Amino acid sequence: MDRKNQTPQGQIAQVVVEFLEVAVSCIVFLKGFYPTRAFERRRYMNVVVQKAVHPQLAGYIHSVTIGLLPFIQKGLVERVVVIFYDKDHIPVEKFVFKLAVSQSYGSNIEQSSLEFALRAFLIKLSVAEPLTKPLPPDSSWEIAAYFRSLPAADGVKDKEDGGAQLWIPTDTKMWMQPPQITPVKSMGCDPLKMQLYLEQPSPAEAKDPATQP
């Protein structure tokens, strides 16, 4: 895609979805969910990363992240979350990317500066394993997006409206107690604000009878 002819928001969104595709792949590798042969060491933003190469895995990650492009561009996406579940489909860990694309930013985007800032997230992810918890047997995972408002209600029309129809409500179960939050990395300047943090169940969660099956 030719970024020169895009709006600043379009340029930002394109960089963000490409970054998210790589970051999600790194997270799944970090958790050891698949054999290492499902990934390949590659260099992205001058950082060595683990990129999914298994066709179904890579296809799922790509289709979800690229599907978010028009909604990130319009500032509709609040969070992109990689959720890991136990066998009862109760979340055991969440990697949360909270983001905001400035809708009033009108200057040209310094892509190198934006990529330099996002590069720091990938470096942090590569050493984040000590912050995480081992996955239980028969676990699963998915990518979820949390919208500030429903895309159809904000005038996202035409082919983007068709993309909105591909997103369905998640049946993710909620924790009864506020989660433990571990910050990983953040950037807080226009035109893009982003936070990456871990959410894990509170120690009190396991003691709450309401959470028991």
pLDDT of 162-175, one tens digit each? 455 555 566 667 78
pLDDT at 163: 54
pLDDT band at 153 (very low <50, low <70, confident <90, very high): very low
What pLDDT, in 10s, does the model give residues 84-135? 999 999 999 999 999 999 888 877 778 888 899 999 999 999 999 999 999 9
Question: Between 8-30 and 55-67, two packed helices, what is the crossing angle to 10 degrees?
Answer: 150
Q: Is beta strand 140-147 parallel, antiparallel or unpaired with respect to 77-85?
A: antiparallel
Instruction: Rounding to the nearest 10 degrees, give the CA dihedral for residues 177, 205, 133, 96.
Output: -20
And the tokens for 172?
A: 């993710």
User: Once rounded to an integer, what is the mean pLDDT over residues 178-195?
Assistant: 92
And the tokens for 44?
A: 């992205």
The percent helix, strand, coil of the chain (3-state, each to 5) is 40, 30, 35
Residue 81 β-bridge partners? 96, 144
More confident residue, 197 or 3: 197
Instruction: Quote the mean pLDDT of the chain.
Output: 86
C-beta neighbour count of 78 within 10 angstroms: 14
pLDDT at 42: 96
The percentage of the chain sitting over the pLDDT mark of 70, rounded to a whole number, equals 83
Residue 211 reports pLDDT greater than 90: no
Residue 154 reports pLDDT greater than 80: no
More confident residue, 91 or 148: 91
pLDDT band at 26 (very low <50, low <70, confident <90, very high): very high
User: Edge-to-edge strands of the sheet including 140-147?
Assistant: 140-147, 77-85, 91-101, 192-200, 180-189
